[in-house]
């Protein structure tokens, strides 16, 4: 199990992470996102109620892994995405936080069904030392969509993010702050990839660079 935190502390961390995403300019026009953080005991988590702009800690809902709202209220839009979050927590016992956004450049890759290569320093350093894979489209929160996420996570045991085809980005990490950092690094990378395409295309790191960072991350986690 990863570290667990009391509700109040986790709620503060989630609100700060949401603010950091707006401040970094990685949100889509709609400001749509959902964020969650695992709570003590590991079988329930805090989830944003269906909006993130102006979010306050007391507005977060506590949700069990089987989708029951234990405390607080979820808008129906957020109830639909509960399964998306539980699928990641179930597949990754060390994940402490999950963030879903429609960050514009990352979403361009998701819409194009193009995996996002790891070709920038921040993406390499903030925990995604490999390409971000694409999960096939399924209606949000549906069995097809959730199964697709679980299958990709099983096939790609070290990825910390997936692109949801025709939809957006899903990133996970040890805590809300680290996860928000990775969202920003991925969005920057996607932007750089698209910009580089106009001047001949992005170029890979030298052979072995991603493997070396992945090995260091694995050592730190063990």
Binding site for Zn ion (CB under 5 A): 168
Q: Which is nearer to Zn ion, 61 or 124 (CB)?
A: 61
Count of other CB atoms within 10 angstroms of residue 44: 20
Which residues lie closer than 8 Å to 117 by C-beta, 6 or more apart?
Answer: 131, 193, 202, 204
Please report how close the Cβ of residue 173 comes to Zn ion at its closest, in angstroms.
18
Closest distance to Zn ion from the beta carbon of 32 (Å): 6
Question: b vs e for 60-77, b when ≥16 Cβ sit within 10 Å of the residue's Cβ?
Answer: bbbbebeeebeeeebeee
Distance from CA of residue 43 to its chain's centroid? 19
Q: How far is the CB of 140 from Zn ion (least distance, A)?
A: 6
Q: How many CB atoms lie within 10 A of CB 109?
A: 23
CB of 217 to Zn ion, least distance (A): 27
| Annotated catalytic residue, options 12, 80, 151, 191 | 80
Tell me which residue has its CB nearest to Zn ion.
168
Measuring CA to CA, which residue among 44, 50, 73, 22 is closest to residue 187? Answer: 22
> Closest CB to Zn ion among 127 and 168?
168
Q: What is the CA radius of gyration of the chain?
A: 16
> Is 19 annotated as catalytic?
no
Distances (CA, A) of 131 to 59, 88, 109, 161: 35, 18, 12, 9
Active-site positions?
80
């Amino acid at each position: 199990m990863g570290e667990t935190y009391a509700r109040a502390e986790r709620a503060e961390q989630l609100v700060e992470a949401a603010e950091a995403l707006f401040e970094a300019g990685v949100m889509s026009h709609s400001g749509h996102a959902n964020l969650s953080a695992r709570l003590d005991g590991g079988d329930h988590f805090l989830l944003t109620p269906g909006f993130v702009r102006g979010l306050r800690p007391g507005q977060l809902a506590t949700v069990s892994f089987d989708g029951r709202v234990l405390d607080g209220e979820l808008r129906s839009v957020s109830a639909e995405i509960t399964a998306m979050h539980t699928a990641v927590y179930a597949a990754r016992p060390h994940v402490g936080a999950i963030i879903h956004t429609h960050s514009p450049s990352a979403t361009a890759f998701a819409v194009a069904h193009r995996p996002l290569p790891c070709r920038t320093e921040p993406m390499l350093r903030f925990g995604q030392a490999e390409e971000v894979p694409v999960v096939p489209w399924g209606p949000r929160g549906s069995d097809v969509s959730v199964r697709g996420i679980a299958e990709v996570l099983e096939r790609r045991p070290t990825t910390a993010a997936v692109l949801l085809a025709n939809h957006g980005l899903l990133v996970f990490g040890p805590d809300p702050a680290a996860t928000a950092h990775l969202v920003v690094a991925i969005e920057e990378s996607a932007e750089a990839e698209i910009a580089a395409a106009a001047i001949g295309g992005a170029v890979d790191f030298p052979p072995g660079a991603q493997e070396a960072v992945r090995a260091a991350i694995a050592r730190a986690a063990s």
